[in-house]
A and B are shown apart, each in its own frame.
Chain A
Amino acid sequence: MTSTIGMIEPGRPDPADRADGMAVVCRGVTKTYGSGSSAVRALRGVDLEVRLGEMMMLVGPSGCGKTSLISVIAGVLDRDGGECSVFGEDFARMKSARRTLFRGRTIGFVFQAFNLIPTLTIAENVAVPLLINGSSMAAAVRQARAILGEVGLGDRWTDPPARLSGGQQQRVAIARALVHHPRLIVCDEPTSALDHATGEKIMEILRSTAVGTDRSLVVVTHDSRIFQFADRIARMDDGMIVGISGADGTP
């Protein structure tokens, strides 16, 4: 069977053409929670570029701003200052409805806690992004079943998430993040709820199915055992990028 993962949807313009080979470009991004004496400066002028077709890992200690940065990149959190564009489009310059639409078509999400809806089957869970983008239930579930086959869960499509192990649930979450062919996938601690072997397996699946010439991944993690899967690693500390290197440590 031909893989459906990584394909550009026919007829859709390739936003990368407008972004000089960059999926994400952040310049001087700042974000502060609260105000006055209780203000917390989560991002203090972050500069980051994520290239097309690469897996970028954001690493650093807890509270360093990784999740805030990925939230700004994914358009689910408003930044206070600086600039940030995804495939040349700036969320801050979009109206709410356009931002929601853009996010639904362009970005796939993989969460630490999977966030699978427990009352739906795994096929229905995977079908959600397609339904949001206007597919019919039958067509969406058909596509969902196909992609579940590619992550090794083709025969479990009628099961609810609770019947699956943590690793299997994360595979479902990956299938959900890929099913609508997004150009950027953001993963928040995708392996932290899994044991080492399962975490490696998940990263292998992500690496083999999600990364493509037209698709980029931003993975937030502090699990050093999976650094080997990254193309580049951005180290964060205290709300800033303190260094970017290859997976082998080369600058």
Chain B
Amino acid sequence: MIAAPHLSLADLAPLLFVFGAACVGVLVEAFAPRESRHPVQVAVALVGTVGALVSTLFLAGAHEVTAGGALAVDGAGLFLQATIAGLGALAILLFAERSLDPARSAFVAAAAVPVGSPRDRELATSERVQTEVYPLATFAIGGMLLFVAANDLLIMFVALEVLSLPLYLISGLARRRRLLSQEAALKYFLLGAFASGFFLYGLALVYGATGSVQLRDIRAAATAGGTDVLLVLGLGLLVVGLLFKASVAPFHTWTPDVYQGAATPVTAFMAACTKVAAFGAILRLLYVGFGTSEWTWRPLIYGVAIVSMVVGAVLGLTQTDLKRMLAYSSIAHAGFLLTGVIGLGPGGTGSGLSATIFYLLAYGLSTIGIFAVLTLVRDGDGEASHLSQWAGLASRSPVTAALMSLFLLSMAGIPLTAGFTAKFAVFRAAIQAGAWPLVVVALLASAVAAFYYLRVIVLMYFSPPSVEGPTVGVPGLPTTLVLAITATATLALGIFPGAVLDIAQRAAIFVG
């Protein structure tokens, strides 16, 4: 007789909201008439994500392990879940924008129609849209919420796939430049599946070494046994799988291609939410599972943090496409985030965890905002993402240029923006943990990266506009809302960071 595990449905409310909305979305796709699908799908997805956000707020302060030890409901997990749900809702709003593109959507009318066929040309100019992207994105958000709460490597693996598989598909759904979009989906899929193979083999080795896949048992085994080769090898493979998702160099090769090829709202979604989810899982695995055997992972994380910061900062300099430049910027930011991961002192002391989760929130908000600005500037063939097309944009649209500058300054970490507070917090945590050489590298990398952010600002304000420049679209309500929220939050987190930093500090607890 097998006893049913204890399952607290209230603790699972965020997950139930999002997965419920995703299932309803699939039914809407099947049964609702085509004309009414778009508004209904947007509403369902928003109810799911906002419901998840609100339920995490109600759960604040919870501290327990449920579902037979498979799920952890704790401060850090809930903070990250709230971040993912909120950023996910903003991304859904970007998906729902219909007034920018002349064809009324950023997504393809029928993904199954071959590119360049007569039917494809006919559909490209029609107002038909495919609404499958909403349930797919909702499933991905559900996977991310599960990923940061998983207290069990098997659940972590399943969540990894639940978040990845829909992402592979939606990165191939761009309406314009479809060949690039499909190519991005193929590259993302093949490399993503490769990385999950590593994660799974690591899981198998850890299971062999400890006889369990629950983080609590792994911690006990690591504390008692210590130097088991299988365990260390397994940890290495697990971390490789997770670093791939977080687009940390040297596992970053897919990032620029996928960011450039996918539709810009999808890129915003991937860049913000996936990063939060992947770092949530990395933090939980390292702090909860291997927190007592830090020597096994600290040198590895130290090394990849340096590689990631340097690669992101230096290669970002050579880019001429804004979306690719932001991809390298996200690689550099992954390195800065790892600086925060290093910032956890022995025995769970230090401010590394709270600094990292605050950084994820600040970075996610700025990222969604910057990609939202990118969707506004367009030429005849979709978004004008080439750097030269942005010359003199300030004289054409001062508001767009000002918003872009704000988000770029936040990315660069200039004071009075969210990026500065976040960077300050992770660097302070790393110094407190004695990792000052890492912080020196991080400061140098920030200085190099600041050059390419500021270059865009200089280009917008001090270059003469070209005659055949891009047009700046008038955004509809969804994009306006996203821009307002992200710009306000970026400023607020920079000027009055106290309240949110305080919440992050109180939330920075993992249940073991």
Q: Is B one of A's binding partners?
A: no
- Report B's interface with A, CB cutoff 8 A: none
- Report A's interface with B, CB cutoff 8 A: none
